[in-house]
Structure 1
């Protein structure tokens, strides 16, 4: 079955006049072309509960929860993404959560988030440590654009860590049963897709198992 991927969008305003908008960073265009070259994809506006009817009509069968504003700052988006997660779980569709999207998945399954050291995580790069070898390595450097993170004690019990940082904050998790993958870094913001990102993403979108 060919992938038809829906990407959630952040709320943003026009620069020179008042006009609320939904937006998707241009970084996603080359990322989707490189990583999902055979897939059809589209942005999903913040329609709240009406979003499920919308994506059914489009035949969406996979979901990417993108980054953006902190959870709780945009209730309409929070509601939308919870509805979309439920829809995907009910229909066995894979879900990829990026940064905020990973945090939303953790909230959905009963976890929490907490503040992390800004100097280590806001607009910087840092090392993370993989739980098992991928592409011959267990340590990689990733970008970081978040002030909130997920500690071990905050991780939902249904989610399994894949990678941690030097302070044991969760940098990636998965749930094989429901084809869920969360990445705290932004693979779409790298100039060239990282091979490890590619392998992880396709493992779960292909219904594989990390173990």
Structure 2
């Protein structure tokens, strides 16, 4: 029997944790995502890194999926060689999450991506990434030195985008902890928000009947003190509830 609350999957990574002198590969995701899903009325389940066959099963049990933050996306996924500035990647995670995006889109399951998750959505749908934005191109650093629970810069929300219509605001203050950003945007996505230096900060599906929201920032760290961020996350929760 279907539960009244939506089941929302949260992607994870593999972290080596030392216990009593032995290294144990462990499933890891930021607990703030779990708290966020509970806050917006969902049931959180963590999705371990597995294989493409398991990814197909994940979309059968989830009413929505959060693609969490983490490692850089391996540039081979968008036909580029790695630059020196590329940071840690996780091939196994890429190999599961990229098809997971495509299966979720095919099944029209709402998806939300933050930071790495934005890149995963874009690359899975045919886009590419700037492997490192800490160059002359960038008007300011996007890797803030303060806590992610504090905003560091403003974004402008496009007036004609679905996100603007839903939130009713033209700008917002966000946090920033990344060194990569979208380069070529996937055809099925549209820009929903940008930073003052032109960095893409939010994307959404061109098809307004499909809930896809990718965010370069971390609303899960801001919503407790920011009504706009809470509203944004609640929109995702409501989209996940529609199938219930």
Would the TM-score normalized by the shorter structure come out above 0.5?
yes
Question: How big is the alpha-carbon RMSD for the aligned residues of Structure 1 and Structure 2?
Answer: 2.4
Confirm or deny: 8 A CA contact 2:201 2:216 kept in the other structure. yes
Q: Which whole-Å CA distance do the structure 1 matches of 2:59 and 2:167 have between them?
A: 36
TM-aligned CA distance change 1:110 to 1:55, over 3 Å:
closer
Structure 1 length normalisation: TM-score?
0.85
The one-character-per-residue Cα deviations of 1:48-83 (angstroms, maximum 9, x if unpaired) are 1232354267x2121110000111211111111122
Confirm or deny: 8 A CA contact 1:179 1:205 kept in the other structure. no
> Residue 146 of structure 1 corresponds to which residue in structure 2?
178
Deviates more, 1:39-48 or 1:193-202: 193-202
Counterpart check, 1:44 vs 2:76: no
> Residue 78 of structure 1 corresponds to which residue in structure 2?
94
Q: Highest Rg: 1 or 2?
A: 2
Deviation at residue 196 of structure 1 after TM alignment? 2.1
> Residue 117 of structure 1 corresponds to which residue in structure 2?
134
Confirm or deny: 8 A CA contact 2:56 2:100 kept in the other structure. no
The one-character-per-residue Cα deviations of 1:137-177 (angstroms, maximum 9, x if unpaired) are 322211111000124xx211211111100111110010034
Q: Which whole-Å CA distance do the structure 1 matches of 2:125 and 2:57 have between them?
A: 24
Structure 2 length normalisation: TM-score?
0.74
Structure 2 unaligned blocks of 5 or more: 75-88, 146-151
> Residue 122 of structure 2 corresponds to which residue in structure 1?
106
More strand by share: 1
Q: Which whole-Å CA distance do the structure 2 matches of 1:98 and 1:87 have between them?
A: 18
Q: How many residues align?
A: 203
Q: Which whole-Å CA distance do the structure 2 matches of 1:103 and 1:79 have between them?
A: 14
Deviation above 6 Å: which 4+ runs of structure 1? Answer: none
TM-aligned CA distance change 1:197 to 1:148, over 3 Å:
same
Counterpart check, 1:179 vs 2:182: no
> Residue 167 of structure 1 corresponds to which residue in structure 2?
197
- Give the secondary structure class of the aligned counterpart of 2:62: coil
> Residue 128 of structure 1 corresponds to which residue in structure 2?
155
